[in-house]
Amino acid sequence: MTPGLMIAAPASGTGKTTVMLGLLRAFRDAGLAVQPFKSGPDYIDPAFHRAACGRASFNLDGWAMPAALLDTLGQRGRDADLVLAEGSMGLFDGVAKPGATGMGSSAETAKRMGWPVILVIDVSGQAQSAAATALGFARYDPELRVAGVILNRVASPRHERLAKLGFEEIGLPVFGALPRRGDLVIPERHLGLVQAVEHPELDRLIGDYAAFLAAHVDLAAIRAAAYAKPFAVASGTLPPPPAQRIALAQDAAFSFVYPHMLEGWRAGGAEILLFSPLADEAPDASADLVWLPGGYPELHAGRLAAAETFRKGLAAHAATKPIHGECGGYMALGEALVDAGGVSHRMAGLLGLVTSYAKRKMHLGYRRATLLGEVTGMPEGAVLGGHEFHYSTVLEQPDAALAHVVDAQGEAVPETGSRRGQVTGTFFHLVARWW
């Protein structure tokens, strides 16, 4: 297996995404083929990874993905020189009860693949004490190797010297120290980073990250720390395509598709026909299935309400063939969407769902769904693993429930999805079918 590293942190907000993107571009600029991964159910960061190094990034999710799928995806870097995986939240953060494979933590992913961990430590407001934090992480799980740290948001040369003293005491390598910078920041939105396709100067910004990392970290030492345990070639398969010809909405309003899903569809011989609802395009009339992924329809509700060609095309398709929507796509299939200002916008009207952003409420977490009927080629009773993350409130949901849905604790949630004729939708994003 290609040697790799997990870029992780004690908590969210430490700057690990900046470090990850800078390393990806710096190693690529040095002539290496670098394979990126993202631990956990994030559909925004992989697009940034691809922009940084030119290779598709895949999610590795121990809660939502069966073992065979994890191992299959983990071998996507066999033809690369180096693997870099970005963790999510804190290194050991997961859920309380196991899912398909585990609790969903970045530490589990790193152990499964044999990747040592580099911790990105925010040393703001501390110096030698940062070493105590790192030491706790290094000793918390004896089966996990912490290779060293990168110090972030260092205030001054004196601050750097003091912080490094602590790491000398515990014998943990410091691969670099990044001075505090306020200009190297990607804008964020309520679901995380602004999408890669929306950032007009993304390539320049990632180039600045790479130059910043190359000036302040030891790239050769980082590469030398990479490792992967050998294991047999996985026999698992990627998610099969739900149809032969799939019309997939893809623009600034609808873009949240897990890369491994598209990889599986293409590997299964499906033809993916892209179209843009924001450009008022109808799905290809020859498609067997229309798929509306998640995204930010609430930011473009007025344009979607005025997209007559798109709406008529959906209605014509739904008369004889299936349509499925996830999260934002599900909302767009509904009767109306109320934006943050309280203005109601007409949606496709193929489901009775009415959602509102006027009163935001966060819905976040893993979902296990048992289908109450056939959905896009999956039979009644099929069990799916997914993840839900949105801020909308359901005002009306009059249609038949699509599935019995529970969270990671096994507690039922009211967001069951909907079905009306050939049209279905869910708030959760499908990650994998369990059985």
pLDDT digits over 221-236, tens only? 999 999 988 766 666 7
114 and 255 housed in the same domain: no
| Distance (Å) of CA 427 to CA 152, 264, 366, 402, 414 | 36, 22, 11, 11, 10
Tell me whether residue 53 is one of the annotated catalytic residues.
no
Residue type, position 230, single letter: P
Tokens of 178: 């990044």
pLDDT of 361 reads 87
The enclosing domain of 402 has a CATH number of: 3.40.50.880
Is the pLDDT assigned to residue 24 strictly greater than 70? yes
Please tell me the least confidently modeled range out of 31-40, 182-191, 356-365: 182-191
**CB–CB of 293/272 below 8 Å?**
no
Is the pLDDT assigned to residue 389 strictly greater than 90? yes
Per-position b or e across 10-25, b if 16+ CB within 10 A of its CB: beeebbbbbbbbbbbb
- On whether residue 176 sits in a domain, the answer given is yes
- On whether residue 236 sits in a domain, the answer given is no
219 and 286 housed in the same domain: no
406 and 318 housed in the same domain: yes
Intra-chain end-to-end CA distance of the chain, in Å: 29
pLDDT of 181 reads 85
Tokens of 157: 């040369």
- On whether residue 238 sits in a domain, the answer given is no
pLDDT of 417 reads 97
Q: In angstroms, rounded to a whole number, what is the distance separating the alpha carbons of residues 281 and 275?
A: 6
Q: Full-prediction pTM beyond 0.85?
A: yes
Is the pLDDT assigned to residue 125 strictly greater than 90? yes
- On whether residue 230 sits in a domain, the answer given is no
204 and 86 housed in the same domain: yes
pLDDT of 235 reads 64
**CB–CB of 316/417 below 8 Å?**
no
Indicate the pLDDT class of residue 196, thresholds 50, 70 and 90: low
50 and 186 housed in the same domain: yes
196 and 302 housed in the same domain: no
Instruction: Count CA within 13 A, CB hemisphere, residue 104.
Output: 24
Residues 6+ apart with CB under 8 A from 317: 247, 283, 285, 287, 290, 323
Mean pLDDT calculated for residue range 391-416: 97
Instruction: Give how many domains the chain has, as a whole number.
Output: 2
- On whether residue 240 sits in a domain, the answer given is no
3-state secondary structure labels for all residues of the chain: CCCEEEEECCCCCCCHHHHHHHHHHHHHHCCCCEEEEEECCCCCHHHHHHHHHCCCCEEECCCCCCHHHHHHHHHHHCCCCEEEEECCCCCCCCCCCCCCCCCCCHHHHHHHHCCCEEEEEECCCCCCHHHHHHHHHHHHCCCCCEEEEEEEEECCHHHHHHHHHHHHHHCCCEEEEEECCCCCCCCEECCEECCHHHCCCHHHHHHHHHHHHHHHECHHHHHHHCECCCCCCCCCCCCCCCCCEEEEECCCCEEECCHHHHHHHHHCCCEEEEECCCCCCCCCCCCCEEEECEECHHHCHHHHHCCHHHHHHHHHHHCCCCEEEECHHHHHHCCEEECCCCCEEECCCCCCCEEECCCCCCEEEEEEEEECCCECCECCCCEEEEEEEECCEEEECCCEECEEEEECCCCECCCCCEEECCEEEECCEEEEECC
pLDDT of 189 reads 56
Indicate the pLDDT class of residue 187, thresholds 50, 70 and 90: low
Is the pLDDT assigned to residue 330 strictly greater than 70? yes
Is the pLDDT assigned to residue 6 strictly greater than 90? yes
- Tens of pLDDT along 75-108? 999 999 999 999 999 999 999 999 999 999 999 9
**CB–CB of 336/346 below 8 Å?**
yes
- Tens of pLDDT along 148-168? 999 999 999 999 999 999 999
For residue 125, count CB atoms less than 10 angstroms from its CB and return exposed for 0-12, middle for 13-18, buried for 19 or more. Answer: exposed
Indicate the pLDDT class of residue 360, thresholds 50, 70 and 90: confident
**CB–CB of 274/105 below 8 Å?**
no
- On whether residue 167 sits in a domain, the answer given is yes
Q: In angstroms, rounded to a whole number, what is the distance separating the alpha carbons of residues 331 and 256?
A: 14
404 and 276 housed in the same domain: yes
170 and 56 housed in the same domain: yes
- On whether residue 374 sits in a domain, the answer given is yes
In the block, tokens 């069990």 appear at 383
188 and 53 housed in the same domain: yes
- Tens of pLDDT along 235-260? 678 999 999 999 999 999 999 999 99
pLDDT of 191 reads 57
Indicate the pLDDT class of residue 387, thresholds 50, 70 and 90: very high
- On whether residue 239 sits in a domain, the answer given is no
Round the average pLDDT of the chain to a whole number and report it: 94
Is the pLDDT assigned to residue 317 strictly greater than 70? yes
262 and 409 housed in the same domain: yes
The enclosing domain of 46 has a CATH number of: 3.40.50.300
185 and 253 housed in the same domain: no
Q: In angstroms, rounded to a whole number, what is the distance separating the alpha carbons of residues 20 and 365?
A: 24
Of the chain, the percentage scoring pLDDT greater than 70 comes to 95
Instruction: Identify which of 433, 380, 369, 434 has the alpha carbon closest to the alpha carbon of residue 406.
Output: 369
pLDDT of 188 reads 65
Tokens of 105: 């933590």
Is the pLDDT assigned to residue 193 strictly greater than 60? no
pLDDT of 1 reads 81
Of the chain, the percentage scoring pLDDT greater than 90 comes to 89
215 and 320 housed in the same domain: no
Catalytic residue among 91, 261, 282, 327: 327
Tokens of 316: 């014509």
Of 191, 225, 259, the residue at which a domain comes to its end is 225
Is the pLDDT assigned to residue 15 strictly greater than 60? yes
What domain range includes position 163? 4-225
pLDDT of 148 reads 98
